[in-house]
Amino acid sequence: MAKVEIYTKFLCPYCTRAKSLLKAKGVDFEEHDISMGGPGRSEMLERSGGSTTVPQVFIDGRHIGGSDDLAALDRAGGLDPLLAA
């Protein structure tokens, strides 16, 4: 199974939606809570090419984007193959 990482903030509805999609697919993921900023936020900004919104999702180091991007990838049939890699 692919390594999935997600950068989130407390009480973020988009983060909740992205995590729910991943959980529904039975995916274990590593969550980085950046609610208080710090080095995790800086890391997210660097890895995502400067995207400041949350969530930011990465699959095997590949930047997927936010919640809408993750859902669109799933609708297009591209998420399952990435997760199975």
The one-digit pLDDT tens for each residue of the chain (85 residues) are: 899 999 999 999 999 999 999 999 999 999 999 999 889 999 999 999 999 999 999 999 999 999 999 999 999 999 999 999 8
Q: Total structural domains in the chain?
A: 1
Range of 28's domain?
Answer: 4-84
Spatial CA neighbour of 17 closest among 63, 81, 72, 68? 68
Question: 17, exposed or middle or buried, with CB in 10 Å at 0-12, 13-18, 19+?
Answer: middle
Query: pTM for this one?
Result: 0.95
Q: Output DSSP code: residue 48.
A: T
Task: For residue 56, give the CATH number of its domain.
Answer: 3.40.30.10
